[in-house]
Amino acid sequence: MTKTQEPSKKQVDQRGLAGQTIGDTAVCAVNQTQLMYRGYEIADLAANATFEEVAYVLLVGEKPNAEQLTSFSQELVSMRAIPNSVKEAIISIANETPDAHPMAVLRTAVSLLSHVCPVCEDNSPEADMQKSMYLLAQIPTCIGVHQMTLDGNTPVEPDATLGHAANLLWCLTGKAPHESAAKVMDVSLILYAEHDFNASTFTSRVIASTNSDMHSGICGGIGALKGNLHGGANEAAMGMLQEIMVAVEDGSTPEAFMKNAFETKMKLMGFGHRVYKKGDHRAGILRDWGLRYAQSANPEAQKWFDLGDEVQAIMLRDKNIHPNVDFPCGMTYFALGIPVPQYTPIFVAARITGWCAHIMEQHQNNRIIRPLAEYTGPELRSWNG
């Protein structure tokens, strides 16, 4: 096909590998009606499991019994501290370049952690599991060191008395979170933990398929998740709501904002999904938990959920497009008092479980991922002709 030719419908449909199955996995199943982690449906997990239990299911493959869960949780707690060299590097970046993107900082932190990991270059199942647990335990600490330094505070040490979600909030703020805040964060981590061959997971698996190490795969995953068409969508969704709120306070209406957005073809973040054409199963769950928290602990934040509900209704009425999980995530994290730039790093704190599970699966049954491309450039031509 020459440059002047239009791409065929088949070629357009194949962009982004839309609708194409490119591999097998036992980690997660995503379809129009269900999202399952190793056979457990997401609503069931959000209602009845803790994030530590879900992490165990994803990494180990089965639901833990009480003894296994205790051992797993205690081991994670023991791994939370990060080396001084990594801590000092994060602090230095925060002080010298405070505008650095938090995802870029976290990517750097994970890369630095690889240098102090004694089994970094070992891709055996045992070493991969050890690396998975270290990354799961240490990423919240890295996020906290960065944010506390940006806030002008001395970073706190991880709190061994707190569960994973509560410790994440503690590291971010230096304040012991209320039980209800920890629960909402726990649910959000469960909802974000895994989602089959999404862009960042696929990136991680491609890297792992070359027999590269887990830390390299995770750095690639973070790089893919950084984009606002993937993980950064929760930040962009909250930014959009803030823009609408300013317009409303200036005398406009959500209806007017959305009408202008439709007419100017503005990209509205937090809506639509490649797979979930009838709605993201996770969105309603997180919206309900976030609203419940706002009503009980931060009533001022309820206005964001009211605005979000109105925007969501307009989008559904006029475009028949449902929100995805990033839309309520923005409102929920805002109600929790989390700085907007840290929303996507927190996504990493959850999705690290899915990424590591997929990297382990790739390493254990590997063939390098190397697809073909359909050439659309000029026909054969002579350099001297």
Q: Which residues are catalytic?
A: 230, 273, 326
Residues 6+ apart with CB under 8 A from 18: 274
Longest dimension (CA), the chain: 76
At 174, phi and psi to the nearest 5?
Answer: 75, 15
**349 vs 164: CA distance, rounded Å:** 10
Closest CA to 161 of 68, 74, 49: 74
Judged by DSSP in three states, 323 sits in: strand
For 46: left if phi > 0, alpha if psi spans -120 to 50, otherwise beta; the answer is alpha
DSSP string, 82-129: --HHHHHHHHHHHHH-TTS-HHHHHHHHHHHHHHT-TTTT--SHHHHH
Residues 6+ apart with CB under 8 A from 260: 266
**β-pair partners for 250:** none
- Beta strands 28-30 and 35-37, pairing class: antiparallel
H helix and E strand count, the chain? 17, 3
**193 vs 58: CA distance, rounded Å:** 9
